[in-house]
A = this chain, B = another copy of it.
Amino acid sequence: MKVNNKDMRPIWADPEDTSAVCVIDQRLLPHEFKVLTLKTVDETIYAIKEMVVRGAPLIGATGAYGVFLSTLTSGQGSVADLDTDCRKLKDARPTAVNLAWAVDRVFDAVKNLEEPEARIREARRLAAEITDEEAENCRKIGEFGLSIIRDIHKKNPGKPVNILTHCNAGWLACVDYGTATAPMYAAHDAGIPIHVWVDETRPLNQGARLTAWELGKHGVKHTVITDNAGGHLMQHGMVDLVITGTDRTTYTGDVANKIGTYLKALAARDNGIPFYVALPSSTFDWTMKNGVTDIPIEVRNPDEVSRVQGLFNGDIVSVLLPPSDSPCANYAFDVTPARLVTGFITERGVCAASEDGVMGLFPERF
């Protein structure tokens, strides 16, 4: 997507230095745009651990490039050195399924190559391929989601389509296009007038910080709102469509996503507004039946609730909100039951949020 009229991804092989990889430092956004150059496995691990990069697809792509950086040094030695690096990479965020999958895929492809140069070449090629695959999935999600937005626009061609989203399921997390944002970028690029209501998404404000930055840089009209505001907007006809991403979705249609998603789905249902979830099929959990009772919800550091990060006098600082002795709780995700979800937008098309709907698009999984 565009940043200052230049096509950009959150990760790319450095065109001027064939032994380096570049990433956008997402910790500093939106107040500072800084590119970090990764030249070693340790620097890659740091970038993943410290959330320089975040979002499952991007973490996977970063891991794949980490294996490439390992081949530059360990490639001279034994496969054992490469294997050690790969284990360290996978440990950087152990719960990230995409990370282990991408690292293993590159490792398996190069471990039997004799020539160090061949290992380097193949690792670099495959990391780029994995990155492109993620982008291509998101591009397809965008195409399928575009038709939903186009249909809404046709009913009322005189006015922009108002879309509400929660958190950041954008290109910063997904290599390119994003998931929830992909239909928005596709509609914008197709000349359909849209306006996006961006939930700030406490506690970490990924909406206010990242989604607003992405949309603004690509030229998409948007307005940042508090997480409290969406219900009022929906009651008063100011939202035509809700699209969010998801961290895990059961094959029966229950959607785990950033905390607060469930409240927006309830408001959408109460006001007859379509509520879509955009996801690559890798996000489906093909084994879990009841998301509300069975998906484990991560409880994160309460400091994320008690403190807010922002810009003060040119520096990014963190301020304390409640009394220092008031406990805080930080449930990071919630589960929206399938009954509140209008449909899924996947790389294979749009389907109902139900076992039958998902089976229709992915029969080989059933």
Contacts and interface: CB of A to CB of B under 8 A. Distances in A.
Contacts of A226: 202-203, 227, 259-260, 305, 330
Interface in A277-319: 292, 297, 305-312, 317-319
A262 B227 CA distance: 12
A216 to B, nearest CB: 5
Contacts of A308: 308, 310, 319, 321
B321 A319 contact: no
Nearest to A259: B228
Interface residues of A, number: 62
Contacts of A35: none
A312 B317 contact: yes
A297 B233 CA distance: 11
Can you tell how many copies of this chain the complex includes? 2
A320 to B, nearest CB: 4
Contacts of A216: 323, 325-326
A235 interface: yes
A319 to B, nearest CB: 3
A212 B322 contact: yes
A80 B205 CA distance: 54
Interface of A: 30-31, 198, 200-203, 205, 208-209, 212-213, 216, 222-233, 235, 258-260, 262-264, 266-267, 270, 292, 297, 305-312, 317-323, 325-331, 333-335
Given A200-B322, A308-B310, 19 more contacts: A205-B322, A212-B322, A213-B323, A216-B323, A222-B326, A223-B326, A224-B306, A224-B329, A225-B328, A228-B263, A229-B331, A230-B263, A231-B262, A231-B263, A232-B262, A235-B262, A309-B319, A317-B317, A319-B319
9 contacts: A201-B228, A213-B323, A224-B305, A227-B228, A232-B262, A232-B333, A263-B266, A310-B320, A319-B319
